[in-house]
Structure 1
Amino acid sequence: MQSDKLKEWGIGFCDATFEDTEEESCPELSDPHLLDIFMGLEKDILTFVQEQLRRLYKVLASDYPEYLGHEEEDPSTEAFLNITVDFLKRRKQEPLAERLHSLSPRVCRDELKRFLQQKFSCVSEGIAKAGNPALLNQIYTELHITEGGAAEVNQEHEVRHIEAASRKPAAPETTMKCEYLFKGHKQAEETTKRQGPIRTVLTKGVAGVGKTVLTQKFSLDWAEGRANQDIQLLFPFTFRQLNVLRDRQFSLVGLLQHFFSETKSLCGLNHQVLFILDGLDECRLPLDFSRTRVLTDPTESVSLEVLLVNLIRGNLLPSARLWITTRPAAANQIPAECVSMVTEVRGFSDSQKEEYFRKRFRDEQQATAMISHIKKSQSLFIMCHLPVFSWMLTTVLHHVMETEVKEQLPQTMTEMYIHFLVVQAKVKSVKYDGRSVTDPHWSPETRRMVESLGKLAFEQLQKGNLIFYESDMSECGLDAADASVYSGVFTQVFREEPGLYQDKVFCFIHLSVQEFLAALHVNLTFFNSGVNLMSDSESEKESQTMFYESAVDMALKSPNGHLDLFLRFLMGLSLSTNQRLLSGLQTQTGSSSPTNVEAAEHIKEKLDDDDEDEGYMKLSAEQRMNLLHCLNELNDHSLVEQVQQSMREGLLSDKELSSSEWSAVAFLVLSSDSDLEEFDLRKYHPSGGALEGLLPLAKASTRVM
């Protein structure tokens, strides 16, 4: 049998070449073991060739050629594909050869990487599409990311999250870098071995903290071969994109081909695939994890909510990895059993803030001066935890330094946002209207635009919407056809996200910008028409005092603080110094100094009011802190100065202070650089009022005595 096989292969001892050669001189031809190996090899190779040819035929005849990658990449499979391509070309089947070549997992990955590099290499800070793009790798500043925590719901206003994050944590935290997201930290290695690899990571973070840029940096690092090369294919999605398709049906395969057509044919749906789902809080799809049917076939067309639920649950592609980002308030939409690890993006740490500003102010002396100025205002420095806020503040400081004297640098949140709006108005006036730098920046067109955007901001804030559509704009008198003008003019205030089929999603760059414009709208409406949008009464024109008091009362009715920052802005807009910057928008004279004093006194009364019979719940510690921020915006420092005097005289342990004064003590300590490792309550006068007022200090301290 072996001799027959040798003859079949054209090898024999009677061959003319070996006719006069002794058998012993050709031992390799007579080695029975070697012959058995090659006979078995022939059988294996023929079987492999038959299977691969059938497989490639099915792939070319199928509507879903990505099935090439359903198994892990095999070098022999890749080599055979290349051989087949070569033989097809020999047979003059160029179209088939090119099509088959495009289905190579390696080719798919290379094309996807090129596409992602092109998409994410440049960003325009703070804006969606306009402005001066910069290389992401050059402007990116490392973010503070912590590992651990639960995906619990938290409905408090995000400014409270930011202020809490700015304080020293009560216990040591595990920090991590973006590239190690699916690897965890060293202390968790044993746990990971027991529980299996990390499949789904849920990353929380408030609006503007850098979640989206983080996903872009992760994608770019992968595409450029810097990190996570164990991932075969990476597909980043945003829920804004998916919302546009909410009325259509897709298979997972079809959805990938739809969004990533640059790769021609997607392949490799195995455990080396990572899906990024950015912005769960903006999802307008009903994700029902309890009643949605099971789906396991990636080629079956279903509604997007069925597809996403099964992908997250692990019914669909259980070996795929998922990274979901969300604001904290929406984190509970994903069941805990579907999440392998929770992380939180905290934005910039204090040292990272300084690093950021030194990058933006190249002159060292100038950078040091700006950092020193920002640190003097607690509200500004705290908000700099947000990269988007740091960028806005940098924009304002650059502009003010060029046009104003140093003493006029913004000191409060309201001043900063007014300056920011003025900067954009001037850009619009000069760049788009062809006006001179010395011309008034509040042109009639700009004024109408600000008024319309303010109305949109207020109405959407009342509805709890951060993103809106053309119908929402039309209701506020904004023509959707001019949306590109709004996003092109106020590129840093208002932006559009192009979706599919020319549908667009609109938003302000940050919730705080929306809240500022909403407060500006309420302020302008009252002083231009006498209508108080913060009052339930429509029968009579209210006084300025009633206007501000009703705003304070309405904000205090919201236990979760959803009007906290809005109220700060509204109080700040009452100052004559701020109104001068807005002259041209406000047709009537704004509030007077006596009105500001009355508003401040009303706030102090609320801080001292412990009577729950008047229809208001007792103030929480967070509400007290926000009212003190409102006093700061009103430029009323009397309460703080009063307790500062008591602190200097060492009277806090002997003197019984009012509730408002104890709250001011907490506000002062939290605003300082004091070490909060240990809070000794024994240093203060023993009373219920002291304990209640100092509660924020206790919450922020590691240990309370």
Structure 2
Amino acid sequence: MEWDSEVERISGSNGEEDNAKWKRPPSSYGSMKSDSEEMDESEEETKEEREEPAAVPPDPPAKEGTRVQLIRSESPETIYTMTTMHTKPPEAHVLETRPNAPGGLPEDDEDEDDDDDLITNSPEPPEFIEPDYSMHTDETGQPGRLHPENDMPHIFKSMQSVLSGLSVEEFHHFKVTFHQWEPKITLTQAMDEDVLNFVDKAMEVVGRDQALLLTLRCLQFCKNHVNAEELQNLCKRVLCRHSLRTYLIRKHELIREGVVKAGCHNCLQNVYVEPEISTSGCGGVDPSHELRHPPPSPFPLPSADTFVGVNNLFRLQKDGGTAVRTVVTTGLPGSGMSVSVAKFSLDWAQERTNRDLQFVIKLSFRKLWSVRTRKMLDSEKVSIMDLIQYLYPQCKDMPYLEEEGCKFLIIMDSFDCYRAPLDFENAPVIKGNHTKAHPDHLIVNIIRGNVLCGAQVWILGRRAAVSQIPSNLIDAFTEIQGFSDEMKEAFFSQRTERPELNQQIVTYLKRLPALVSLARHPFVCWMVFTVFKRAFQFRDFGEHRPRLTPFHINLMIVQMNRRLQFYYGQSQNQLDWSAEDKNLLLQMGKLALKMLEGNTTVFSEDEVKQYGLIPSEVAVLSGMCTELPAAASDGRRQFCFLNVAFQEFLAALYVFTVFRTGSKYVVDSGIGPVPNVFKNLPKSAEGLLQCALTQTLNSPLGQYDIFLRFLCGLLNADCHNRHLCGFLFPHSIPKVNGLDKAEQLLRKTIQTAPQERLENLKECLREMTQEDL
């Protein structure tokens, strides 16, 4: 039959015939000329000897830029290899099991006891060897290219081979269905009897992956289930990759900021500005201060030559020139770690960068913690393949992660959300992706490199959380530094189509240096844009300088609410600050005031415990502090607040809260010495301000001046009533009396203040009244 001969020509095993067949003339995606056309040509040449040839127009010249030849070796080997090695300490037990049906979820009757598999010391991580992609670059200039089975020639050949197996009637029915579902393919193009022409045109019109998916759906719709299954098996790697790409695009294409509202979102690609990411971890804290010189912090910002792009993190190399396997990224709260992960994932899913990564799989620690605590799986022990298939059902029966040459990435973000301690010293060594173990042990072995040993691993979290990972398991430590001044302006310009509004916001922001420093954090930068965009809709807005206190109040409220949502599972509509939450905030303010009196910006773990606080609550969960690098702190665990101004704000908040809720001055509680004359003052806003003024004017310039500015801002009724009531204070709390007298006291002090204090005192009055002077 004609159909049988066509199949033999397409899928025959003769090597010379295959090579001759696949060396097609150049076109946009492959050959536009089939074997049947070549037969017709040979028949025409025979006829030429017998009769006068008809005039035939010459073939159009082939395009030179897309010379794709579908030539594949008969070996299924890929063009790269990778070796891995499992290591373990002497006498260490190794868990190695592989069920007969890999990929299944844990059985309920799992009774094996692996307690004997605990070891007393942690193994050395295996050497990670990157596949050789140095000879290839993608269109962005990055080294690497698609895996051959993910690339167009393999998909083209697979589709052509399967469609050639259809009968004439089946192929006709298939093309009619394809045209109905994809109108971009015209009826004339769809009715082309040549298989290669049809496949070429389908890929050119709808794209590589979409042509494959549409072909599969049409085959299934036309009841050609055998052919559909054959095509699915030939392109299974492509389909797994496409499922992951589709999931990541759907998850990260839109970004929702602030309080999530229906319809309120932006396209991440349109508004994203990449922050500075440094390979020199200096703590990420901006040491600048508006009044103090020199800067009070010994941890300067890193230099520009240490910066690396988020999409180039896994192009970094270790000292020996080998590729990095495990990259840890940290940053201050609000520095944009989650958004950077979203942009990396979106760029990979849309094949802009890192195309050599076959798969990018997100194993968020928040999801891992939910699986562990809520027992979503039927057993406390689970294999990593079970876990991946549970989180990504489309990756079921995916054996590629175990191949020696498979290059893929595991993203493990929100490390601080995994509340259980990880024992890197005594966790058992797990050898095999199908070995069932406790989730804690799985995580440890992923980081060690014993599970998913061919993967590159990207871990993100706050420094105090990721510091528990042994340094010998980390190949590169990076830190998000935030926005430079140019990045802030780019951030504003991308969010509005009105250049005049962008210029108004930038000019207005620069009038307050302390807010410029705080806006280095991308989240604060978004707050600034959101507030000022609304405010500039009002007439005459912008005549007065910006106020500093409301921004710090809102940042503090947001971080406390995020703590309750992310770490304690409260919903967005049911956020309620308990007595313990308020006490945490007040004790942190008390610590900040003590540091202010001692003229220091760094506190130790012992000082945290002195105030009855848990170091992890302060340095990780609060979102208002960070741990400093061990190298900068002589190996001891030391911490600091987001910046010096935020420390001064919390100190002022503590002083004001004690005054408002306890009707007393902090000086009466023994925090610091004060002349006895002030102890006899009536407990009023005027007396509170008098104590603060005396303390500020009798101290070196810059020590208490910004603290005084925040305290004056908190005395503003709009701040302590509208912003703080319902969170730190109940709505039924009495109003603060004597605010008019406090304002008069401040105005009198300005008239007699030293010249070097005059400008800051005027700023204090602006914070209290927001009136131009």
Tell me the TM-score normalised to structure 1 length. Answer: 0.53
Provide the rounded CA distance (Å) in 2 between the counterparts of 1:518 and 1:458: 14
Closer/same/farther in 2, CA of residues 391 and 332 from structure 1, 3 Å limit: same
CA contact (8 A) 2:359 2:408 kept: yes
Cα pair 1:121 1:135 within 8 Å, conserved: yes
Query: 1:455–1:518: 8 Å Cα contact kept in structure 2?
Result: no
User: Which of 400, 404, 410 in structure 2 is aligned with 1:268?
Assistant: 400
- 1:560 is matched with which residue? none
Alignment CA distance shift 1:114-1:407 (3 Å): closer
Distance (whole Å) between structure 1 residues aligned to residue 668 and residue 551 of structure 2: 27
- 3-state SS of paired residue (1:256): helix
Correspondence for 1:239 among 365, 376, 382:
365
* Residue 145 (str. 1) matches residue 280 (str. 2): no
In structure 1, runs of 5+ residues without a counterpart are 1-8, 12-40, 46-58, 424-447, 465-509, 554-562, 603-626, 638-705
* Matched-pair identity in %: 26
CA distance in 1, matches of 2:437, 2:666: 44
- 1:516 to 1:257, Cα distance in 2 relative to 1, 3 A: farther
Residues 23-44 of structure 1: per-residue CA shift (max 9 Å, x gap): xxxxxxxxxxxxxxxxxx99x9
Contact 1:574–1:591 (CA under 8 A) maintained in structure 2: no
Could you tell me how far 1:632 is from its partner in structure 2? Answer: 8.3
* 1:479 aligned residue: none
SS of structure 2 residue aligned to 1:356? helix
334-343 or 567-576, which deviates more: 567-576
Q: How does 1:3-402 map to 2 (within 5 A)?
A: 62-64=101-103, 97=229, 101=233, 104-127=236-259, 132-149=264-281, 169=301, 171=303, 173-184=305-316, 194-247=320-373, 248=375, 249=380, 250-270=382-402, 271-402=406-537
Change (3 A) 1:225 1:404: same
| Cα distance change, pair 361–631 in 1 and its aligned pair in 2 (3 A) | farther
Q: Hey, what's the Cα distance between the residues in 2 that align with 1:289 and 1:161? A: 38
2 CA distance for matches of 1:334 and 1:182?
Answer: 19
TM-superposition CA deviations, 1:175-212 (whole Å, max 9, x none): 2212111112xxx6xx56x3521101111211111111
Q: 1:292 to 1:547 in 2, by over 3 A?
A: farther
- Aligned 8 A contact 2:287 2:298 in 1: no
- Paired residues for 1:440-479 under 5 Å: 452-453=576-577, 458-461=582-585
Query: C-alpha distance in 2, partners of 1:213/1:514?
Result: 26
Distance 1:455 1:123, change over 3 A: farther
Partner secondary structure for residue 400 of structure 2: coil
- Quick one: which amino acid aligns to residue 415 of structure 2? L
Alignment partner of 2:328: what SS?
strand
Q: Does 2:613 match 1:574?
A: no
Cα distance in structure 2, aligned partners of 1:99 and 1:162: 64
Q: What is the aligned partner in structure 2 of residue 527 from structure 1?
A: 660
Give the superposition deviation at 1:550: 10
How many pairs align?
Answer: 465
Task: Report the 3-state secondary structure (helix = DSSP H, G, I; strand = E; otherwise coil) of the residue aligned with 2:450.
Answer: coil
Pair 1:408–1:204, CA change in 2 (3 A)? same
Distance of 1:305 and 1:564 partners within structure 2: 48
Is the contact made by 1:239 and 1:278 (CA closer than 8 Å) also made in structure 2? yes
- Rate the CA distance shift 1:355–1:529 in 2: closer, same or farther, 3 A: same
Residue 367 of structure 1 aligns to a residue whose secondary structure is: helix
Given that 1:574 and 1:590 are in contact with CA atoms closer than 8 Å, whether structure 2 keeps it comes out as no
Root mean square deviation of aligned Cα: 5.7
Tell me the SS of whatever aligns to 1:246.
helix
Distance in 2 separating the partners of 1:182 and 1:231 = 10
- 1:201 aligned partner, one-letter code: V
Preserved CA contact (<8 Å) 2:329 2:461:
yes
State the 1:143 CA deviation.
Answer: 1.6
**8 Å contact kept, 2:692–2:708:** yes
Change (3 A) 1:525 1:266: farther
1:587 maps to 734
Counterparts of 2:708 and 2:466, CA distance in 1: 26
Q: Evaluate the alpha carbon distance shift between residue 628 and residue 262 of structure 1 in structure 2; reply closer, same or farther with a 3 A threshold.
A: farther
User: Mean alpha-carbon deviation: is it higher for 399-408 or for 163-172?
Assistant: 163-172
The alpha-carbon deviation at position 578 of structure 1 amounts to 4.4
Give the Å deviation of 1:124. Answer: 0.9
Confirm or deny: 8 A CA contact 2:240 2:394 kept in the other structure: no
Q: Which amino acid aligns with 2:477?
A: V
Provide the C-alpha distance between the structure 2 equivalents of 1:458 and 1:634, rounded to a whole number of angstroms: 26
- Would you say the 8 A contact 2:447–2:473 is kept in 1? yes
Shift of 1:591: 5.9
| Cα drift, residue 318 of structure 1 | 2.5
Contact 1:233 / 1:268 at 8 angstroms: preserved in 2? no
User: Given that residues 515 and 566 in structure 1 are in contact (C-alpha distance below 8 angstroms), is that contact kept between their aligned partners in structure 2?
Assistant: yes
Aligned residue in 1 for 2:111: none
Give the Å deviation of 1:111: 0.9
Contact 2:508/2:542 (8 A) holds in 1: no
**Does the 8 Å contact 1:454/1:517 carry over to 2?**
no
Corresponding residue of 2:591: none
Residues 225 and 421 of structure 1, relative CA distance in 2, 3 Å threshold: same
Structure 1 residues 279 and 574, CA gap change in structure 2 (3 angstroms): same
State the AA in 1 paired with 2:275: L
Distance change in 2, residues 1:545/1:253 (3 Å): farther
- What letter corresponds to residue 315 of structure 1 in structure 2? N
Q: Deviations over 1:556-576 (max 9, x none)?
A: xxxxxxx99999755521235
Equivalent residues in 2 for 1:432-581, closer than 5 Å: 452-453=576-577, 458-461=582-585, 527=660, 530=663, 572-575=713-716, 578=719
Measured after TM superposition, the shift of residue 305 of structure 1 is: 1.6
Q: Deviation per CA, 1:55-76: give whole Å up to 9, x if none.
A: xxxx99724289xxxx997759
Higher helix proportion (structure 1 or 2): 1
With over 3 angstroms needed to count, the CA separation of the structure-2 counterparts of 1:460 and 1:328, relative to structure 1, is same
Task: State the partner residue of 1:474.
Answer: none
Q: Distance in 1 between matches of 2:421 and 2:231?
A: 38
Could you say if the C-alpha distance between residues 170 and 231 of structure 1 is closer, same or farther in structure 2, counting changes exceeding 3 Å? Answer: closer
Q: What SS is found at the alignment partner of 1:334?
A: coil
- 1:572 partner amino acid: G
C-alpha displacement at 1:412, in angstroms? 3.0
Q: How far apart in 2 are the matches of 1:521 and 1:331?
A: 30
- Maintained 8 Å contact 1:395/1:420: no
Alpha-carbon distance between aligned partners in 2 of 1:548 and 1:255, rounded to the nearest angstrom: 59
TM-score by length of 2: 0.49
Amino acid of the structure 2 residue aligned with 1:108: C
- 8 Å CA contact 1:108–1:263 kept in 2: the answer is yes
Q: Distance in 1 between matches of 2:101 and 2:724?
A: 67
